[in-house]
Amino acid sequence: MSKRKTARIHNISTLEVLYNYSTTRFEKRQMSEMLDSDLKYTYGSFRKTCDSISQLLSRYGIGGGDRVAILSQNTPNWTVAFFSLVAFGRVAVPILPDSSANEVSNILAHSGSKAIFVSKRFLSRISEEQLNSMNLVIDIEELKVIRKNKEAFTCNGRPSVPGPDDMATIIYTSGTTGNAKGVMLSHRNFCTNIIISYHAHRTSKRDVWLSILPMPHTYELSIGVLYPMAVGGKVYYIQKPPTASVLLPALKTVSPTIMLTVPLIIEKIYKSSVVPSVEKSQVLRWMKAHTPWLLYRLISKRLKKTFGGHIKFFGIGGAKLDGSVEAFLRRIHFKYAIGYGMTECAPLICTAGVRQTYLGTTGGAAYGVDVKLLNVNPETGEGEIIVRGNNVMMGYYKDPDRTAGVFTDEGWFRTGDLATTDSKGRFTIRGRLGSVIIGPSGENIYPEEIEHLINNIEGVDESLVVDDDGKLVALVQLSGNVLDWNHASEEQFLEKLQAQREAILRAVNKQVSRFSQISRVEVQKEPFSKTATQKIRRFLYKHPSSAPSTPPTADNSKLADSNSTKDSNNSTHISDSNGVG
């Protein structure tokens, strides 16, 4: 890519600059499209729609600095809503679509949102009182006003031209600790991530994105919404959750060059499709033993075809990728990339592009970002990752004490993630500072490492290792075909369940040190409660005896506002460690 193109990317200092640049330079190019729908935009028609919505907001007194929420599934109109706000100096408050009614209520109240773009399917999560308090309620699917406050029709909502250090969004996060916080991200934070993305993997107007992650998630927002705009790319959206039956036809239709995913997607493909296919075929088993290079070539060809045949960048973030799955991707020369970040960094901290991946690491510091370890243990080389750069947030909204608590005196942001680094500056995440279990003799036990071992056992879907009064307990969810829970009271079922527990216990304890031995295995019938990036909400399972037997319901959740800090049973998004946040 030319130096001229590089200069243009680096000159994008605000989302208003990005908006004007992309909608002018790429005016006639296709920008976005919803599959199986007539909803699509060119960059030019996108601008006309955003300008029109901005004028509507202004007529109802919503101007520069005012907060407006967005609650919707992925759609091209989500981007319309977002840029009708941030390009005109307003502040967007994106809300994850799996947020509960309580969370939505508290986010709206805490942020002081004056209006909301909402999908009809999520309208019931907003109370009548809050709907009536809004200046405007806009149906995001049709971009039509559902409700309006006639008294707010003042026409004094003047837009403003945002500066690089003005606030662009407030993104509410929570997760392993259960404490929610409103992360204030500036225009500079997001534009820095566009530049980081460009240096990690250069794209062009010929590239095609397929969006499958929630758009309020900073991983998808920065790299899947803003970055394609900077280069004139096109983004496709699907109308339903990305299950195999929905995703496979979409991949065939779109043939994307770029996808952003979480580890769970590729891990499930590997464990539920690749491994069983090899084990069931006598020919493939023979090839694995005698001509593995040929087997991997065949698998590579088939996997690339599954993803549409043109994939050039398969970004994996949000959680740590299973080591055996990553080793497999390297053997078949699949073009994957790894990132590490947090919402507080919008999100990128470390990157490893397609050509820079190295087994088990998250890569080195992202372009223009300073990353180092704090309080390094001289024996293990482990320390807390701290970050400094233009990607780091402004702070937590209405929470100066919490903001001060995550910054060092020198202004470095403390991630709470423990890692080691090698001679080439690549970071390897060991675990969360808060999830480390202290052994009986003071040893640091990283439950994530034991979980990776458990998850590689045949028949295991997911697991979580917790401390129970000084003993390690593995909470395990088995694959769907291992046990038939309809016969849970029968003796044969109980015998099989016990055999599974003992097999997992033996397999793990053969591979770990004495102080990392599992004392017992508990099998869960229901899936673990997860964040938007499919990370288990660890805080819910700290005490095995009180762990939920079913996923927490929406009505049980609580979101911490400026005056309270309560555990959330169905929190919004966590500041993810071990992967892009």
Closest CA to 427 of 464, 385, 462: 385
- β-strands 427-432, 413-421 pairing: antiparallel
Q: What was the pLDDT predicted at 372?
A: 97
- Is residue 559 predicted with pLDDT exceeding 70? no
Most confident of 42-56, 168-182, 284-298, 567-581: 42-56
> Can you give the residue ranges of every domain in the chain?
3-190, 229-392+407-432, 437-556
Q: Which residue has the higher pLDDT, 578 or 281?
A: 281
| Tokens standing for residue 435 | 């999830």
- Is residue 2 predicted with pLDDT exceeding 70? no
Q: From CA 236, how far away is CA 216, in angstroms rounded? A: 16
Q: From CA 474, how far away is CA 450, in angstroms rounded? A: 9
DSSP single-letter state for residue 556:
G
Distances (CA, A) of 100 to 86, 140, 174: 25, 19, 13
Q: pLDDT tens digits for 78-131?
A: 999 999 999 999 999 999 898 888 889 989 999 999 999 999 999 999 999 999
- β-strands 208-211, 234-237 pairing: parallel
Q: What was the pLDDT predicted at 442?
A: 58
Closest CA to 258 of 213, 209, 204: 209
CB 463, CB 455: distance < 8 Å: yes
Q: Which residue has the higher pLDDT, 441 or 376?
A: 376
Distances (CA, A) of 259 to 206, 252, 311, 355, 468: 14, 13, 8, 16, 40
Q: Per-residue confidence at 385, pLDDT binned at 50, 70, 90? A: very high
SS3 percent helix, strand, coil of the chain, rounded to 5, is 35, 25, 40
Q: pLDDT tens digits for 479-495?
A: 877 888 878 778 888 88
DSSP for 318-377? SSPPPHHHHHHHHHTT--EEEEEE-GGGSSEEEEE-TTT--TT---EEPTT-EEEEES--
Q: What was the pLDDT predicted at 274?
A: 84
Percent of residues, the chain, with pLDDT higher than 90:
57
Q: Per-residue confidence at 440, pLDDT binned at 50, 70, 90? A: low
Q: What was the pLDDT predicted at 410?
A: 95
DSSP for 143-199? TEEEEE-GGG--S--------TTSEEEEEEE--SS---EEEEEEHHHHHHHHHHHHH
Q: From CA 62, how far away is CA 389, in angstroms rounded? A: 32
Name the residue with tokens 């919008």: 346
Q: Per-residue confidence at 545, pLDDT binned at 50, 70, 90? A: low
Average pLDDT over residues 26-34: 97
Residue 466 — φ and ψ, nearest 5°?
-130, 160
- Is residue 568 predicted with pLDDT exceeding 80? no
Q: What was the pLDDT predicted at 280?
A: 87
Q: From CA 104, how far away is CA 412, in angstroms rounded? A: 31
Q: From CA 134, how far away is CA 449, in angstroms rounded? A: 47
Q: From CA 50, how far away is CA 280, in angstroms rounded? A: 54
- Is residue 581 predicted with pLDDT exceeding 60? no
DSSP single-letter state for residue 552:
P
CB 552, CB 527: distance < 8 Å: no
Q: What was the pLDDT predicted at 541?
A: 82
Distances (CA, A) of 147 to 68, 123, 169, 340: 14, 12, 24, 41
Average pLDDT over residues 348-371: 93
Q: From CA 192, how far away is CA 70, in angstroms rounded? A: 23
∠ CA(560), CA(561), CA(565), 5° rounding? Answer: 40
Q: Write the class of the CATH domain 437-556.
A: alpha beta
- Sheet bearing 40-42, strands edge to edge: 40-42, 30-34, 234-237, 208-211, 258-261, 313-316, 336-341, 348-352, 364-365
- Is residue 166 predicted with pLDDT exceeding 80? yes
Q: Give the dihedral sign, CA 535/537/541/542.
A: positive
Bridge partners of 522? 475
Q: From CA 185, how far away is CA 386, in angstroms rounded? A: 18
Mean pLDDT of the chain: 87
CB 346, CB 190: distance < 8 Å: yes
Q: What was the pLDDT predicted at 557?
A: 30
Q: pLDDT tens digits for 263-290?
A: 888 888 887 778 888 888 888 889 989 9
Residue 266 — φ and ψ, nearest 5°?
-75, -30
Average pLDDT over residues 317-326: 84
| Tokens standing for residue 6 | 């590089």
How many Cα atoms are found within 13 Å in the side-chain-facing hemisphere of 301? 6
Q: What was the pLDDT predicted at 489?
A: 77
Most confident of 21-30, 145-154, 551-560: 21-30
Q: pLDDT tens digits for 205-246?
A: 999 999 999 999 999 999 999 999 999 999 999 988 888 888
Q: What was the pLDDT predicted at 533?
A: 67
| Tokens standing for residue 370 | 């300073």
- Is residue 370 predicted with pLDDT exceeding 90? yes
- Is residue 556 predicted with pLDDT exceeding 50? no
Q: From CA 391, how far away is CA 192, in angstroms rounded? A: 6
- Is residue 551 predicted with pLDDT exceeding 80? no
CATH code: domain 229-392+407-432 is: 3.40.50.12780
Centre a 10 Å sphere on the Cβ of residue 529 and count the other Cβ atoms it contains: 19
- Is residue 175 predicted with pLDDT exceeding 60? no
Same fold: 3-190 with 437-556: no
Q: What was the pLDDT predicted at 396?
A: 94
CB 493, CB 483: distance < 8 Å: yes
- Is residue 546 predicted with pLDDT exceeding 60? no
Q: Per-residue confidence at 544, pLDDT binned at 50, 70, 90? A: low
Q: From CA 39, how far away is CA 505, in angstroms rounded? A: 52
Fold for domain 3-190?
A: Rossmann fold (3.40.50)
Q: From CA 322, how far away is CA 463, in angstroms rounded? A: 12
- Is residue 567 predicted with pLDDT exceeding 50? no
